[in-house]
Amino acid sequence: MVSPVDGTLLRFGEMKNKKLGPIKGMEYSLEEQFLYPFFKNWNQDDFRLFYGVFYLAPGDYHHIHSPMDFNLAQRCHFKGDLFPVVPWFSKLAPSLFTRNERVVLEGVWEGGRACIVPVGALNVGSIKLAFEPELETSRWTTFALDFESRHMTKKFSGGKQFQKGQELGEFKLGSTVVVVFQVPN
């Protein structure tokens, strides 16, 4: 496994109690909005969960690459806010990563299930996917406050294979990428 970006690794570790974090002072439940609806279907009995959080500063290379050989099963675009992701702002915006716009790429790698999650931020919400150029993020839109109507899922029949290091997409400026993955016990 390799880093998906050239940014700063803010946090890496094993998840405890299905919580991601603390990241920038906040913990996130995987069963709630961060990886919903994907995580609820993962076999958790025979696996341990790990995560990495990578921050991209404005001067970093803004392309996102597959951190592992990965078979993409589905993509989910969550419309949302575009709050800054700099560490000091997270204290002002509770649940920042579940409120900000993001794209969840969920699939399988040699260790089990995995998600690669580009998270948008203020002035840098534009996430472009190399394999799906028609996806438009950070578009002004009116959306309902209920969670179910804020996400759009696309399934890839038979999966879409990516090699470790292959480009997945890019930000139009810096932001954050979260990687969550299973490892067999």
pLDDT in tens, 150-180: 567 888 999 999 999 999 999 876 678 989 9
Q: Give the residue, 121 or 133, on which the prediction is more confident.
A: 133
pTM of the model: 0.84
Q: Measured between alpha carbons, how far is 164 from 74 in angstroms, rounded to an integer?
A: 18
Residue 55: partners with Cβ closer than 8 Å, 6 or more residues away: 7, 8, 10, 85, 174, 175, 176
The one catalytic residue in 66, 90, 126, 175 is 175
Check if 3 is active-site: no
Considering only residues 103 and 126, tell me which one the structure prediction assigns the higher pLDDT. 103
Average pLDDT, the chain: 79
Is 95 part of the annotated catalytic residue set? Answer: no
The one catalytic residue in 6, 60, 69, 81 is 6
pLDDT at 125: 63
Is there a contact between 112 and 77 (Cβ–Cβ < 8 Å)? no
Residue 69's pLDDT band (cuts 50, 70, 90): very high
41-44, Cβ contacts within 8 angstroms, sequence gap of 24 or more: 42/112, 42/113, 42/182, 43/112, 43/113, 44/18
Most confidently modeled range among 24-28, 41-45, 51-55: 51-55
Higher pLDDT, 94 or 145: 94
> Of 24-28, 119-123, 169-173, which gets the smallest average pLDDT?
24-28
Q: Which of 173, 177, 146, 156 is nearest to 66 (CA)?
A: 177
* Catalytic residue check, 63: no
DSSP secondary-structure letter at 77? E
Per-residue model confidence as pLDDT tens digits over 122-153: 666 688 899 998 887 765 544 444 444 456 78
